[in-house]
């Protein structure tokens, strides 16, 4: 598969036209997405028009961005002006936003061309992309298995070659976990490094937009094109961000790397996954890094804290879907019954479950015992990470406890599904950055395994360096 940087270089040099590139990828989507369902909507006409406009600019000698002509898939919880944005929910089916998300505008300015909106777990609540109101997405590596979630459509789109780049959102692992299961690179930036303006909120203190790509270098290129301060997002970091691409090849010599015991040795981590982390650590050591084991004790409580904090924030954010302002409206005898009927028919089972859990956690008499206590645990996690980063530059762990599981295997057991994110959630609670990089396959099924590199806040460039070193060790370069 041709990389994003190769496409951009060829289009900019007029060796290929952007229209040719887009037609090639749209044809692949048309041929294969019926089996995978990576996309909720494909915007073929819009993509071709954008490609022709870009070709005209290049022919006129106008400057174009670093992603000129590169097809990109957008998770369907990112607002796109005039194009349906559903969050894979009936309650927003057919809604067309009147504005674009900041990241969409920035990618357009960089020359990238959106080819469609990808499927996800409804309102990004899930770990398998089976909670979508429009049906599940299948893993391109094995269509009997899930692609992970909630950004499963974006991960599958990159893995299937439908687009070299895609955007996802990560609230508790929703970029990194599907990246691991589909065998691609997926990265969660530092909270606030990428604008959330135009990202439909799930849990506002946890959500972050990030890149998917087939390799680390393309992922870095995509992140650099969209991150940076945005006055439309009050949580956006105003500091200058350290460039990524320039340091990718610096290697890891002299870096201190810690294998997180609580995330690697926890019950439920498959033997092949644990072995992959150890092999990745060995490769980094061979490349000149110093590797040791480290304890980050409070991370064992990450799952418990997350499933109080995230549903609590979701119950507040999703209160806006009332059948009055936008989206689905189910009429009834009065406003109260109309609200209840709209929400009952518009939301799926998992979304309802989390709304009820979050509302309970915020209710009078239970706020301190549940939500307040979860926030205190979150503080402990931040402190334990801070102590670990006094000794280590980056940390290492599995991304997902297992390889991709079969469709339907965990849908009847929400707790088993939630455990899919046990290794990724602590990073979201801390607001830090992390990246999943493919590292081999399991011995039984030959399915991809992802290794996770974790960094403190604003260490995004550093974790990319380490991920690149891991990637090079796989390729033997």
The pLDDT value recorded for residue 477 is 53
* Residue 279 vs residues 96, 259, 264, 453, 455: alpha-carbon distances, Å: 47, 12, 13, 14, 20
Same domain, 193 and 313: no
pLDDT tens, position by position, 200-224: 999 999 999 999 999 999 999 999 9
Per the structure, the count of domains in the chain is 3
Domain at 258, CATH number: 3.90.1300.10
Same domain, 416 and 465: yes
Please identify which of the residues 174, 315, 400, 420 carries the catalytic annotation. Answer: 174
Same domain, 192 and 318: no
Question: For residues 41 and 76, what is the distance between their CA atoms, to the nearest angstrom?
Answer: 9
The pLDDT value recorded for residue 239 is 87
Same domain, 66 and 141: yes
Please identify which of the residues 127, 128, 132, 150 carries the catalytic annotation. Answer: 150
pLDDT tens, position by position, 218-276: 999 999 999 999 999 999 999 889 999 999 999 999 999 999 999 999 889 999 999 99
The pLDDT value recorded for residue 476 is 67
Same domain, 197 and 80: yes
Same domain, 396 and 463: yes
Same domain, 24 and 129: yes
pLDDT higher for 326 or 186? 186
For the chain, helix (H) and strand (E) counts, in that order, are 16, 11
Q: Name 213's Cβ contacts closer than 8 Å, sequence gap at least 6.
A: 4, 158, 164, 165, 166, 184, 185, 219, 221, 222
Same domain, 179 and 311: no
Q: Is the pTM of this model over 0.75?
A: yes
Q: Is 290 a catalytic residue?
A: no
Kindly report the average pLDDT of the chain as a whole number.
Answer: 97
The answer to whether residues 108 and 72 touch, using CB atoms and an 8 Å cutoff, is no
The percent of residues above 90 in pLDDT, for the chain, comes to: 96
Same domain, 282 and 339: no
Same domain, 242 and 268: no
Please compute the mean of the pLDDT values over residues 404-422 and round it to a whole number: 95
pLDDT tens, position by position, 52-75: 999 999 999 999 999 999 999 999
Question: For residues 255 and 276, what is the distance between their CA atoms, to the nearest angstrom?
Answer: 20
The pLDDT value recorded for residue 94 is 85
pLDDT at residue 386 above 90? yes
Same domain, 258 and 232: no
Please compute the mean of the pLDDT values over residues 395-422 and round it to a whole number: 96
Q: Is 352 a catalytic residue?
A: no
Q: Among 368, 390, 408, where does a domain finish?
A: 368
Question: For residues 307 and 421, what is the distance between their CA atoms, to the nearest angstrom?
Answer: 11
Domain that holds residue 44: 4-247
Q: Is 174 a catalytic residue?
A: yes
Please identify which of the residues 17, 75, 188, 420 carries the catalytic annotation. Answer: 75
Same domain, 43 and 150: yes
The pLDDT value recorded for residue 13 is 97
């Amino acid at each position: 598969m041709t990389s994003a940087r190769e496409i951009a270089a060829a289009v900019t040099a007029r060796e290929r036209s952007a229209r040719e590139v887009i037609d090639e990828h749209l044809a692949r989507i048309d041929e294969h997405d019926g089996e995978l369902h990576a996309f909720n909507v494909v915007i073929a006409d819009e993509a071709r028009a954008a490609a022709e406009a870009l070709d005209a600019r290049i022919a006129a000698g106008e400057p174009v961005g670093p992603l000129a002509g590169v097809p990109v898939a957008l998770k369907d919880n990112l607002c796109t002006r005039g194009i349906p944005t559903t969050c894979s929910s009936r309650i927003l089916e057919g809604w067309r936003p009147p504005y674009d998300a900041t990241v969409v505008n920035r990618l357009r300015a960089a020359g990238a061309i959106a080819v469609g909106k990808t499927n996800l777990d409804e309102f990004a609540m899930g770990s398998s992309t089976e909670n979508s109101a429009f049906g599940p997405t299948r893993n391109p590596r094995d269509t009997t298995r899930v692609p992970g979630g909630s950004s499963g459509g974006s991960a599958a789109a990159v893995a299937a070659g439908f687009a070299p780049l895609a955007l996802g959102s990560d609230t508790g692992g929703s970029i990194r976990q599907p990246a691991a299961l589909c065998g691609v690179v997926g990265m969660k930036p530092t909270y606030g490094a990428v604008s959330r303006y135009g990202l439909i909120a799930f849990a506002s203190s946890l959500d972050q937009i990030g890149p998917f790509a087939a390799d680390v270098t393309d992922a870095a290129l995509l992140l650099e094109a969209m991150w940076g301060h945005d006055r439309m997002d009050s949580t956006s970091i105003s500091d200058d961000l350290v460039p990524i691409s320039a340091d990718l090849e610096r290697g890891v010599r002299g870096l201190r790397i810690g294998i997180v015991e609580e995330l690697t040795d926890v019950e439920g981590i498959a033997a092949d996954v644990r072995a992959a982390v150890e092999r990745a650590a060995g490769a980094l050591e061979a490349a000149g890094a110093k590797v040791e084991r480290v304890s980050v004790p409070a991370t064992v409580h990450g799952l418990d804290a997350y499933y109080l904090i995230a549903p609590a924030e979701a119950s507040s954010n999703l209160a806006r879907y009332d059948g009055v302002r936008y989206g689905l409206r189910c009429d009834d005898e009065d406003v109260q019954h109309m609200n209840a009927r709209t929400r009952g028919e518009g939301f799926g089972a998992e979304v309802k479950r989390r709304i009820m859990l979050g509302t309970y956690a915020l209710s009078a008499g239970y706020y301190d015992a549940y939500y307040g206590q979860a926030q205190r645990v979150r503080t402990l996690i931040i402190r334990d990470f801070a102590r670990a980063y006094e000794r280590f530059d980056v940390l290492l762990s599995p991304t997902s406890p297992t390889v991709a599981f079969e469709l339907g295997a965990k849908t009847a057991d929400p707790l088993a599904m939630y455990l899919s994110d046990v290794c990724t959630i602590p990073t979201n609670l801390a607001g830090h950055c992390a990246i999943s990089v493919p590292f081999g396959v399991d011995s039984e099924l030959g399915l991809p395994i992802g290794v996770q590199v974790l960094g403190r806040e604003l260490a995004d460039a550093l974790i990319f360096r380490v991920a690149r070193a891991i990637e090079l060790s796989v390729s033997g370069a």
